[in-house]
Every structure is written in structure tokens, then in C-alpha cells.
Structure 1
Amino acid sequence: MRKCLLPCLALLALPVPAAAQQREAWQAPTLSITRYDEDWSDLSDADKRAHHWTGPLKYIPIGDDAWLSTGIEVRARSERYGDNLWGGADAPDDAYLWLRAMPYVDLHVGKARAFVQPIAAYAVGVAPSASPIDQTRVDLLQAFGEVDLGPVTLRAGRQMLSLGTERLIGTRYGRNVPLAFDGARADMRVGKAVVSLLAMKPVQPGSGSFDDATSDTKALWGAYAALPELDIYYLGYRNRAARFGGVDGREIRHSLGFRSHGVRDNWHWNVEGVYQFGHFGGQRIAAWTLGTEVGHTFPTLPLAPDAMLRLNVVSGDKKAGDGRLGTFNALFPKGKYFGELSPVGPTNIISVNPRVSATLGGGLSASLTAMAYWRASKGDGVYDIPGNLIRAPGNGAPRFIGKEAEVAIAWQATPEWELSTSFSAFAPGAFIRDTGPAKTITMLGLESNFRF
């Protein structure tokens, strides 16, 4: 662990340009994870470009009605696990360092654009060995062309996807190599709604340079309509090499979902429900989930805390071999689904998750989170975030999987540079104790992220 932490701590101490420490009156677009949805066209005004040291790099005029935008992310993240997967992992005590750099170039020519973002991702100390999501070396993360036709925008190529709050389709930004897709997307503006049509295949990272490839087993298609406070969507999914309950087969799954979200005074909410149907290996699919998130901010209290309660119910399979598969498939969800430490994923689970966060001043923020997990169905086991079965149901009758606590602190040192740390502990419950190794998982995370 010491060897992993020293390079990370050294990166935390890197100096940044003095100008970057000045908060300017001009409000730049919010930096996003996908980067391509940042709009820097307002910097065509040379006076605005002069307001911040990044201005000349975010808008580079190159001719009549043509300009470039550039940027980069440099991240170092160190993680240390104790008794991972309750002591059942191949390397339960693991400490490693992730390093990645993701520069990008965004070329605009009239109503057309070309966006290119390579990635250099390396890992040090991963045991027993680094996987392609830890280390892909040098590869192409995103590269697409786009044309704006007024009410319709067409895009084709390699791109990251983020739909809603990423319960089903996310970037998996937290891991060292984010998730990307190859395919086409059309965004249509209809009144206040934006309707996105998708036809995609996920990208499978390779362990060497320039060997990431389009998946030949998985495909995603659908339509996602986003209104000011309501999302409605259909997503189709195919996997020729799916596996459920120890059975391999071809999976065709259809998801119908809605999401209600918004802010009223000091209240905020995000409620999402999904029903799935289709077939797998001769079985009929009938699965569902309901996720709720309700919070309240207290602006008159010291530190203006925000209290939030999340409740998720995700179906599992009731009985193997009955011709009906009730196991929910979260498709491509965000990587940190329940927090920084997420050994369990959104399949066959009931979770209760209260959280309190506060702004401490001086760019500091902190949060304290608790989680408790139960199996939704006794006939099904426990899954990780990608949907792999990590603890079979066996003869384990208890539903209770375990409880977790997490504290996180972040410091926005400059507009471009953030430092963060988190500590998590997951104590096993009766089901884990009855079905295998049952030690308490601990994880310490340290991160330095510089983006502009």
C-alpha cells in the first residue's frame, strides 16, 4: 500500500497556475464527465476568453465559423481493500494505484463537429493482475462526428452515454477505464422535450494499446424522452452470452421506465421505476425495480446540510427452473451505485440508504452515509454491479445481506483541481455468514483530479 500511496500523494501536491486560483466573474459551463456536452461557444468574445487562464484553450478560432475547444483530465486514485468480497476475493487484501489521462479536442465547423478523446490508463499493484478496466494503456475512449440539423442532432461513432441518473445507462466513470459505446444517436427537440433514439454496442476494453473493440455479443437500442421533470423511456438489450442461475443462453430484454425528478423550495426528489420483459434460454423474463430518493436542504442551519433518504427495491428470481426469470438486469449502470464501496449491485436487492451532506466552506464538503441491504427474493443470490453472481443462494434462508457506513470529504482546491478521500466499511449480515466467507470489508480511497 505504501508504494501505491506515495505517487498519489505526490500528485496531490502538484502546483497549479496562480491564475487558476482566481475566481472570475464570468461563469464557465459546468465541467461534465462526458465532456462533449459542454458549450464554450460564448468564448467567441475575446474579452471573455481573457477572464481565465483556460479561456484561450477552450475556444481557439481557426477560421470563418470554425473553432476548436481543448481540455484534459488527469486523475490519480489509490484504493486499499481489506477482506474484499467479505474475504472471498482472489486477493481480498489489495492496494493499488490507478492513473489516467483523458485529453480531448472538439472541432466545430458551422453546424458540424468532430469530437476525439483518447485515454491513457495504467494501474500499479492490482492483485492478482490488472484487468482491462484497470489498465487499457493508450486507446480511443471517444471519437464521433455530429451534425446539427436544427430540431434534430445526429451523432455517430464512439461515445460515452449518460441517461438520467445512470440507473440503467451510465459512464462507469469511477473505474479507471470508463464505459463507451459504438453506434448512432439522434436527439430530437419537441417543445420542451428532448427525445433521444439510440442504436449502440458497448466497447470491450483490451489490456493492450489500441485494442478496445466493439462487443460482438451485446447490443443496446431504444428511445429516451427527457422533459423538465419527467423522463419516459424504452430500452432494448441483447446478450448472446448471458448467464443467470448457472445457465448460459441468449437474452433479449425490453425495459419500460419512467423517472420523476425535480426541486420544490428546499425539497428535491428523484423517483424511477422500470419493468422488464423478454426471454432468456427458453424462460420468460418478468422483472422490475423501483428506486426513490427524497431530500431536504436546511439553508438556515449551520453548514446548510442536505438530508436525503434513498430506498431501492430490485426484483430477483423466485424459483429456478420454473420457466420465469425474475432477476432484474440493470444493463450498464453507474459504477458507484450505492457509494464509493459497492460490492453489491442493483439486482435482487432491497436497500435503505440515508445520507447527510454539508458544505464546510473554503471549498470543503463532506458526507456521511449509511446503507442496509436485503435480498428481495430468497430464491436468488447476490450480484455485483456488472450483474455477475457473487454469492449463490445455496441453502441460505436469511434475507439480510449486510450493513455499510461511509464518510467522504472533498476539497475543491481550485476551479480545476479537486482532492477527495473516503472510508467505507461493509459488515456482513446473516445471509453472507451462512453462505461463505463473512469478514467485514473495508476500503480507503484517495483521489486527485485535475480537469479543465
Structure 2
Amino acid sequence: MRKAILSCLALLPWPVHAQQREAWQAPTLSITRYEEDWSDLADAEKRAHHWTGSFKYIPLGNDAWLSTGIELRARSESYDNNLWGGAEAPDDSYLWLRAMPYADLHAGKMRAFVQPIATYAVGVEPSSSPIDQSRIDLLQGFIEADLGPVTLRAGRQMLSLGTERLIGTRYGPNVPLAFDGVRADMAVGKARISLLAMKPVQPGPGDFDDATSHDRTLWGTYAALPELDLYYLGYRNRAATFGGLEGREVRHSIGLRSYGLRGAWHWNVEGVVQFGHYQGQRIAAWTMGMEFGRRFPTLPLVPDATLRFNVVSGDRKAGDGKLGTFNPLFPKGKYFGELSPIGPSNIISLNPRISGDLGGGVTASLAAMAYWRASRGDGVYDIPGHLIRAAGDSRPRFIGKQAEATMAWQATAEWELSASLSAFAPGAFLRQTGPAKTLAMLGLESNFRF
């Protein structure tokens, strides 16, 4: 663990001297990057307000300009008793390195966006997985046309829909997720409607070998209104695995999300129902996630207290002709926290969290999690949906409890340092079905983006 921590700290771009922050505020930096709008920097005087201005808007002639940027991330993760002592290397400690430059060319109503990626992992045992290391590849590369009421985008692109409950970027792990396909966006009144036809990209172990999946297909529509999202997503997988069987899965998801802010209160409530078929079985699955919180602006540290509660269905009885296990499709990578050994299938979770502003660009949070099985007839899954602990004859529902502390320092507008410390104590179900040691993880991260 110490070796990985020292390696990570050696890579941090420590500033030589403190600098006063510029008054100019850049647009919010996004994970997908293509959502950032730097067109207001056509004014040369605005570009001169910050050192990044000359990179974010490069004039190329009449009605043509180029925006550039990069992300450089170093992240160390050190585990004790990974998968509660059941992993091949339970006491693993490794370093992730990632570079993601991009170029965004605008010419009239046309646009071309290109983002290569370089990802490397040091010290992963027993070997690196596709989310640890993919070397040099094309993360995003698409052409976009502004056709007036409709914007059409075709090529390789990252997707982030809503709170990424079903479709996310997998930003937390070292190798993000991208899709190959077509997306059309249109504005209808106050609503923004997106139509999707995509296939996920499967990372390869070498350079320039990421490939479009032959087995999995995603399609659907997502309507985003003020404080309300409504969506339908279709999914097909020719090599799905549930209950030890492999076969063809066709699943339809219909979701509704309500979210917003009223004074100091905020909320985010989302429900999804799934239906379809798998290997002669009828799919009937669902999830409901609720989040309610309140900010206290007059108290020291301006704390924000949030309570999250999730119920995600599992399969009640194998062989009854009905599959009740919820499929999260392509969710965010760190689903329940920085340490997320289990994913959103067959789960009931309770997650209180409090965060605060310590001043000087430093924020901190404390969180607790408790997990139960939604169905005794189903086991525990990881975030991609792989079964990691079968139900067997075990009857207890309680999976375990977790505590997590995080701290982040926004040293400059472009550079952030963060750390997390997490521990997961197994409950009765894990103790009855396999290794059940307390799992701990220390995460350290340096992220520079502009």
C-alpha cells in the first residue's frame, strides 16, 4: 500500500507558488467534454483573461474555430481483503494513469470532435482488466450537424443520461465507456429529446484495438424537461448470463425521474420498470431510488445532509419462468461510493451522507451505507452485473455495512486533489456464503483538466 501511495504522490503537479485566482470564470468542465461551450471566447479580450483562453478558442477563419483541452489523472487504490478476502489478489495495491486530450472543431453548422485516450495500470494483480488498462485508443470521435430543430451526431461518443443510473460514462475506473452509433437531439418546447441507436465499445489490451461490441445493442429515447426526465431504453445481449445460463436477452426499460431544488431542500427520485424475455423466461424487474437532502447555509462549514434509499429487484425463484433480476445496463462506475464492491441488482440500500465546505477550496464528506438482498432467492452482483456471490441455501438478507470518508482540494480551477478511506464489514449473508473479512480501500487521486 505504501509503495502505491508514494508513487501517486510523486506524480502530483505540486505548485511552485500560490497564485491569485483570476476573476474570469470558465464554463463548467464536463466529463464528456463535448458539452462545454467556449464560443463566447470569440472575443479576444475575454480570451486574454486566463491562460487557458488561447487553447479554448483558436480562430481558424470565417466562422471556424478550434477548442482544445486535456485531462491528466493519476489515481492510486490500495485494498485490504478485496471482495472480503475472496479475490485472487485480496491485498492488491496499484496505480492508474490516464491522459485524455481532445480537439473540438467548429465550422459553420458542422462540428468534428476527437478525443484519444492513453490508459496504463501499474501493479494490478493478478493482471489488468479492460477497465484498468487499454493503452492508446480512440475514446471519442464523431461528426455533428446542426440541422436547425435537430442536431445529428454520428460516431464514437460517451453518453451520460440523467444520474447515470442506467447509462453512464464509467468515469471513476481508469477506462471510461463509449458507444458507437447515432444520436439525434431536438428541442420541443422546454423539453430536450434524444434518440439513440448505439453499440458499446469493448476495450482491448493493446493499442488501437478497441472494438464495437457484436453482442450488445442499445436504443431508445430520453426526454429531459425542467425537473422531470422520462425515458425508454431497449437493450439486446446475445451472450447474457443469469442463473448460470447463457442466452439471448431482450430487455425494455421505462423510467421516470423527478429532481429539483427548493430553497435549501433538494431531491432526486427515480423509478424504472423492466420487461422482455431471456431464454424462454419473462423478464419482470424494477428499481426505485430516492434521495432527499437539505443544505444549511447559515451553519459553519455550510453542511449538506442527504439520505439515499434504493430498492432494486432480484430473482425470487430460479426456474419459475420469470426473471426478476434488474439489469443496470451501463451504469456509472463508482455506484454507491468510492468503494463499490456490489452493484445495483437485488439490493436494498440505505445511505446517509453529510458534506461540508472547509474553506480554501477544500470539501469533505462522511457517509454510511447498509445493504440487504431484496430477494432471498438471488445473490449479490457487481456493478457490471456479474454474480459474485450466489444465494445458495442462505436465508439472511443482510449483506453488510460500509463507512466512507472523502476529502477534496480544488487547488486551482484546473487541478484537484482528492482522497478517500472506506471500509465494508460483511453481514450474515456474506459470512454464510464465503470469505467474510472486512474490506478496506484507500484511494488517492490527482486530476488536472482544462
Question: Pick from 391, 394, 400: which aligns with 1:393?
Answer: 391
Q: CA deviation at 1:406?
A: 0.0
Structure 1 pair 333–16 and aligned structure 2 pair: CA distance change class (3 A)? farther
Cα distance in 1 for partners of 2:156, 2:20 equals 36
Q: 2:253·2:275 contact (CA, 8 Å) conserved in 1? A: yes
Quick check: 1:38 aligned with 2:46?
A: no
Amino acid at match of 1:400: F
Counting only pairs closer than 5 Å after superposition, residues 20-419 of structure 1 correspond to structure 2 as 21-419=19-417
Deviations 1:87-139 (A, max 9, x none): 00111110000001000000000111000000010000000011121111100
Deviations 1:341-400 (A, max 9, x none): 000100000000000000110000000000000000000000000000000001110000
TM-score of the superposed pair, with normalisation by structure 2: 0.99
Amino acid at match of 1:438: A
Deviations 1:70-97 (A, max 9, x none): 0000000000001011100111110000
Q: CA deviation at 1:7?
A: 2.6
Runs of 4+ aligned residues of structure 1 deviating over 4 Å after TM superposition are: none
Q: CA deviation at 1:28?
A: 1.1
TM-score of the superposed pair, with normalisation by structure 1: 0.98
Q: Secondary structure of 1:12's partner?
A: coil
Deviations 1:135-180 (A, max 9, x none): 1110000000001112210000000000000000000100000000
Cα distance in 1 for partners of 2:135, 2:161 equals 27
Cα distance in 1 for partners of 2:27, 2:178 equals 23
Quick check: 1:441 aligned with 2:412?
A: no
Q: 2:306·2:354 contact (CA, 8 Å) conserved in 1? A: yes
Q: CA deviation at 1:27?
A: 2.2
Amino acid at match of 1:367: S
Deviations 1:203-222 (A, max 9, x none): 00000000000000000000
Gaps (5+ residues) in structure 2? none
Equivalent residue, structure 1, for 2:9? 9
Q: CA deviation at 1:10?
A: 1.3
Q: CA deviation at 1:12?
A: 1.8
Deviations 1:410-443 (A, max 9, x none): 0000000000000000000000000000000000
Q: CA deviation at 1:13?
A: 4.2
Q: Alignment length, in residue pairs? A: 450
Structure 1 pair 16–170 and aligned structure 2 pair: CA distance change class (3 A)? farther
Question: Superposition RMSD on alpha carbons, in Å?
Answer: 0.9
Amino acid at match of 2:401: K
